[in-house]
Amino acid sequence: MPEWVSMVFGQVILAILTGLVSSAMFFFFLSRFRPQIAISPEIARGISTKTGETTYVIKVINRTRDDITDINAQLHLFNFHQTATGKIWKSDEVELKRSTPICIDKYNKKDKNANYAYRFLTYENLDARWNDENTQFIRFRIIARHATSGFGGAFKRDYLIKQKTIVDGTFSKGDTFKIVLKQTQTHEQ
């Protein structure tokens, strides 16, 4: 084989390998920019300051170093059904007051307003609807997109035991899922 052929062949292989490595590094870098969302382990039961109705609130914290957008949250009550072919789960949606906020701010411990935290609220009576822990559970799901990279993420939390899940009170402000009992008023966003 002539020397110029092996030199061209070597340069082509080098160019391909360089392109693959740089693409892999770029993808690895961008994949680090995905949403990171924490979901409260409990649901706070309170009273709305606007309507006086009982509210049920789930708090999420955006732990990403950038805003998250394209947010969509869902709350479902799953019911177990036995059929001739086996067990199936049927879900009934629980309506959230605002399930699609435009944006949740980036995580910043110095943010005194805690705009990186968001509370999803429903007026539907979860105590009445969730009446059998053996055949029912609640699932909260949220999807969001990282504002800079555009990468999305999906997160969920299942609530299985009603007595440990629904707690009277309201969520403390900031980077915590603590529910305080002294104040049962819900401030809606």
3-state secondary structure 152-188: EEEEEEEECCHHHHEEECEECCCCCCCEECCCCEECC
Identify the band that residue 187 occupies on the pLDDT scale cut at 50, 70 and 90.
low
Q: How confident is the model at residue 189 (pLDDT cuts 50, 70, 90)?
A: low
Q: What is the pLDDT of residue 68?
A: 96
Structure token digits, residue 21: 């490595």
Sequence spans of domains, the chain: 1-31, 37-186
Which CATH number applies to 37-186: 1.10.3720.10, 3.30.9.10, 3.40.250.10, 2.60.40.1400? Answer: 2.60.40.1400
Residue found under tokens 């403390």: 172
Total number of residues shown for the chain: 189
pLDDT confidence of residue 1: 63
pLDDT at res. 5 = 64
CB-based burial, 35-68: b 16+ in 10 Å, e otherwise: bebbbbebbbbbebeeeeebbbbbbbbbebeebb
Predicted TM-score (pTM) of this structure: 0.81
For the chain, list the strands marked E by DSSP.
37-39, 43-48, 54-62, 68-83, 86-94, 103-104, 117-122, 136-146, 152-159, 166-168, 170-171, 179-180, 185-186
Residue 186 has pLDDT above 90, yes or no: no
Query: Which bin fits 86, alpha (ψ -120 to 50), beta or left (φ > 0)?
Result: left
Closest by CA position to 156, among listed 134, 131, 139: 139
- Measured between alpha carbons, how far is 2 from 7 in angstroms, rounded to an integer? 9
Q: How confident is the model at residue 25 (pLDDT cuts 50, 70, 90)?
A: confident
What confidence tens digit (pLDDT) does each residue in 109-164 have? Answer: 999 999 999 999 999 999 999 999 889 999 999 999 999 888 899 999 999 999 99
pLDDT digits (tens, 9 = 90+) for 59-97: 999 999 999 999 999 999 999 988 888 889 999 999 999
pLDDT of residue 183: 47
